[in-house]
Chain A
């Protein structure tokens, strides 16, 4: 735990950290403002966090905000650092980090496809990755109703007898 504190103190001295959290042992989450994400990530990479394990996005629909989470990992001390920031949900735009971690290219593409976050500087992120001929809003957003989409897209089987409903499985 103390190594975690020393890292936190080191970061706190350098950057304006909004909040800190320890979701798990060997894991530390720090919240940052949107504009100094890049500087922190560059710094972290320079002090040994050479692997970008994960970039994902969390949709806080109630707060009307997308939360980008960058998880970097240091192979020497085995510590994951979650660098988190919040983006406006209406038009989520962010700068790409492909120059820092080239591997981020596909993560950004995935986030763009399923959440609609724009990453300038990474043209490929605008192409679709998993979904083929997708014609609706990005599906991982909370306001997307898969059930409705599925019923409208894929005709379901009508059952003459109401067998399922008697058992109490309300639709």
Chain B
């Protein structure tokens, strides 16, 4: 399901420079995931990586740190505490970066729509390039989603990170409204 991208540019008229096209080709064929295993969707990823579905065919593989990762997979409901960490970790990733929301909890809060702790719509806080519906999508849906993501990157439509940069204040206003503040000093760590 495609994002209702609110930037006005239609996808026909291609303004990217030749160098960016080549870059997008490389970035499309080699996407490294920073899967944040927030909710119940994380368990769907091992099957997509191992022998049956093998996402390495698409050039995708897991990476340990946000600095090295290209795509941030949000695989489940996001409580306010986890959302703060997600935003901090998203900002640590290198441009161009993409966000993929798994499951209905990221789309509209899912079964936790009325909980006082979980957010209801991910793209208020982060620029989501791709949602994969399902109350946890099966590996086929995940692979299909990744395929869509790859074609989007190739066509240069996965510009969530540009969108995040351009209207950063809109995003941070949403974040502060929902979370109070993003960088908290919690007692357990220092």
What is the interface of chain A, defined by CB distance below 8 A to chain B? Answer: 127, 131-133, 135-136, 139, 144, 146-147, 149-150, 153-157
Contact = CB atoms under 8 A, between A and B. Distances in A.
Contacts of A157: 107-108, 120-121
B121 A150 contact: no
B120 A150 contact: yes
B11 interface: no
5 nearest CB pairs, A to B: A133-B180, A147-B114, A146-B116, A157-B121, A154-B119
Most chain B CB within 10 A, of A135, A149, A155, is at A155
Given A132-B184, A133-B179, A133-B180, A153 B121 contact: no
Interface string B105-129: 0011100011111111100100000
Contacts, number: 53
Nearest to B187: A127
Contact of A132 (B84, B107, B124): B84
Contacts of B107: 157
A71 to B, nearest CB: 26
Mostly, the B contact residues are loop
25 contacts: A132-B81, A132-B84, A133-B80, A133-B179, A133-B180, A133-B184, A135-B180, A136-B116, A150-B109, A150-B113, A150-B116, A150-B118, A150-B120, A153-B178, A154-B120, A154-B124, A154-B178, A155-B120, A155-B174, A155-B177, A155-B178, A156-B108, A156-B113, A157-B107, A157-B120
Contacts of B121: 154-157
A155 B124 contact: yes
Mostly, the A contact residues are loop
Interface string B77-121: 000110010000000000000000000000111000111111111
Contacts of A154: 109, 118-121, 124, 178
B112 to A, nearest CB: 9
